[in-house]
A and B are shown apart, each in its own frame.
Chain A
Amino acid sequence: MWSFSKISNILDSWLSETFSPTWTMVIEMVIAGICVITLFALLGLVLVLMERRVAAWIQIRLGPNRVGPGGMLQSLADTVKLLVKEGMTPDGADKFLFNLAPIIAMMVAMLLMAPIAFASNFQLWDLNIGVLYVTAISSLMVISILMAGWASNNKYSLMGAMRSGAQIVSYELSAGLSIMAIVVLSSSLNLNDIIQSQADGWWIFKGHIPVFIAFLIFIIAVTAETNRAPFDLAEAESELTAGFHTEYSGMKFALFFLAEYINVFIVCAIGATLFLGGWMPFHIGHWEAFNHVMDFIPSSIWFFGKTFFLIFLIMWFRWTFPRLRIDQLLDLEWKYLLPISMFNLLLVTLMAILGWHF
């Protein structure tokens, strides 16, 4: 059957027949890089459009419907607009850091792409500590925001950056702890192994209530980590105009914007991988016939379907809830999410030791 792994294998074998192993490696890296950048651009376009549609329908509007069929090309037109705009650097800004910040934001988002399994046997880097890698790299996001806020020489930006720093550092904890629940259950840090361990059912179904709580906490924490409403204090339009990217314009702003959406995609992909089985089709225990039918749906569709479902969840939150205040945001983490997730991890560990999960 046609699949991503077939294509990559054919390409790999053709390249290694034609070139020496070193060149094969180099060419494959270039191809992977181009694919990632293309995926970025595509995701940016699709997610912006999706966000605007979700927002519009929730807000009893129609949403973009002028550019292209049904407004499909709206985000492309926006990109063109942003590309031709002047990228201004404010007078008092630290020019080097100011221009570096959006690039770092993109770099972090790109690095996170590496260990994600998009389909069965289709992964850039099968890393044996994939989960650790993802948690480690995603905490680098805060650097670009702090850098942008500091270098802008703008009080709004600085406050946005400082808020974001406090927020990301604290929500890292509960995100990490809820990920740990799955690591404990599947006893592996390898994302592939985690997916394989869900062959007879996804963890969210197998893991009883504790895993569901872990999933909830994970969604809340990653929403906060990616600075999405109701935790968008770093931007907080009505308070800080645009927060850390107040001074950015043109393509530099677009890079931040894109990085936000890529980050949303990545955390949702991680969430889908850990809790909803990644590319693993929907399997129920030993119902061979049912499982076989499910296998006919390509694994990439499963992966993207689950990821986009989680993205929809996060968008749905954004367009429903008001924003929290900074002290309430930290209260939520330290008084509610962290104790609950610690207790929850204890339960999960107990469950794993006693083998109570399916």
Chain B
Amino acid sequence: MMFIVKYIKEVFSGLKSLAIGLRRTLYYFTHHKEIITQQYPDNRDTLVFPDRFKGEVVMAHDENNEHACTGCTACELACPNATIKIVTKFDISPEGKKKKAIDKFVYHLELCTMCNLCVVACPTDAIKMAQTFEHSVFNRAELTKVLNKPESKVREGVE
């Protein structure tokens, strides 16, 4: 007799545990305000990224088309993947002095792991992380970028 009581208890406790689960899923089935889906391509306009989000490395230029990069190659040395390649040239100042400056700041986005080490290493805060994230392109060559704008110069007073 005890066996049958135990058997029936087992069946009922099993059914009860299943009913608890069913109640929970029914709650979500009927409460659509709990839905957490973000409809990504549609919500582009309202998409806010935190200011620290590491999307890609960019170089800040001011309105005079000047940047703060002195070409010290600290970032190039800090980078673990050889993502950054700095090509330098010698500018001749009006006084006739030779001064080292960057010719091209080549940035290989396809190699970059967004580790932020270059930004930390930069002594003049010339580069920073941008919040872009849609990096897909049709041609791999487009991922190799030159960060300094053409004709840009290093800002006065930045050493």
Contact flag (A, B; Cβ within 8 A): yes
A contact set with B: CB distance below 8 Å: 54, 57-62, 65, 316-317, 319-321, 336, 340
Give residues of chain B (32-89) contacting chain A, Cβ–Cβ below 8 Å: 32, 34-37, 39
B32 with A321: CB separation less than 8 A: no
Please state if A61 and B37 are interface contacts (CB–CB under 8 Å). Answer: yes
Query: Would A320 and B21 be within 8 Å (CB), given that A54-B29, A57-B28 are in contact?
Result: yes
Residues of A within 8 A of B22 (CB): 316-317, 320
Report the nearest B residue to A61, measured CB to CB. Answer: B37
- Contact B28–A58 (Cβ < 8 Å): yes
- Please, which residues of chain B bring their CB within 8 A of the CB of A62? 35, 37, 39
Whether B29 and A57, one on each chain, are in contact in the complex, defined by CB atoms closer than 8 angstroms, is yes
Known interface pairs A321-B18, A321-B21, A336-B11; A316-B37 also in contact (CB < 8 Å): no
Alpha-carbon distance A29/B35, docked complex (angstroms):
48
How far does the alpha carbon of A316 sit from the alpha carbon of B29 in the complex, in Å? Answer: 9
Query: B25 to A60, Cβ gap below 8 A?
Result: no
**C-alpha spacing A57/B36, complex, angstroms:** 10
Contacts between the two chains (Cβ within 8 Å), count: 36
Q: Which residue of A lies closest to B15 (CB)?
A: A216
On chain A, the residues within 8 Å of B11 by CB distance are 336, 340
Q: Does B137 contact A (CB under 8 A)?
A: no
List chain A residues, Cβ under 8 A from B25.
Answer: 58, 316, 319-320
Contact residue range for chain B? 10 to 19
- Nearest residue (CB) in A for B18 is A321
Contacts of B26 in A (CB 8 A): 316
Which residues of chain A are near B32, meaning CB under 8 Å? 57
Known: A58-B28, A321-B18; 4 extra A-B contacts, CB below 8 A, are A54-B29, A60-B36, A61-B36, A61-B37
CB distance from B9 to the nearest CB of A (A): 13
Prevailing SS type, chain B contact patch: helix
Q: A-B pairs with the 4 shortest C-beta distances?
A: A62-B37, A320-B25, A58-B25, A57-B29
A340 to B29, CA, bound (A): 32
A54 to B25 Cα, complex, angstroms: 10
A320: which B residues are within 8 A, CB to CB?
18, 21-22, 24-25
Give the complex CA separation of A202 and B39 in angstroms. Answer: 45
Closest to B22 in A: A320
List residues of chain A with CB within 8 A of the CB of B24. Answer: 320
Contacts of B18 in A (CB 8 A): 320-321
CB distance from A313 to the nearest CB of B (A): 9
In the complex, what distance in Å separates the CA atom of A95 from the CA atom of B22?
43
State A336–B4 Cα separation when bound (angstroms): 12
Taking the nearest CB of chain B, how far is it from the CB of A64, in angstroms?
12
B34 surroundings in chain A (CB, below 8 A): 60
Q: How far is the CA of A61 from the CA of B32 in the complex (A)?
A: 9
The minimal Cβ–Cβ distance linking B137 to chain A, given in whole angstroms, is: 24
Give chain B interface residues in 11-25, CB to chain A under 8 Å.
Answer: 11, 18, 21-22, 24-25
Across-interface contacts of B29 in A (CB, < 8 A): 54, 57-58, 316
B35 with A60: CB separation less than 8 A: yes
- How far does the Cβ of A107 sit from chain B's closest Cβ, in whole Å? 35
User: CB-nearest residue of chain B relative to A315?
Assistant: B29
Q: In whole angstroms, what is the CA distance A319 to B39 when docked? A: 23
Using Cβ atoms and an 8 Å threshold, which residues of chain B touch A340? 11
CA distance A52 to B54 in the complex (A): 35
Report the separation of the CA atoms of residues A319 and B11 in the bound assembly, to the nearest whole angstrom: 22
A65 to B39, CA, bound (A): 10
Q: Which residue of B lies closest to A336 (CB)?
A: B11
- List chain B residues, Cβ under 8 A from A321: 18, 21
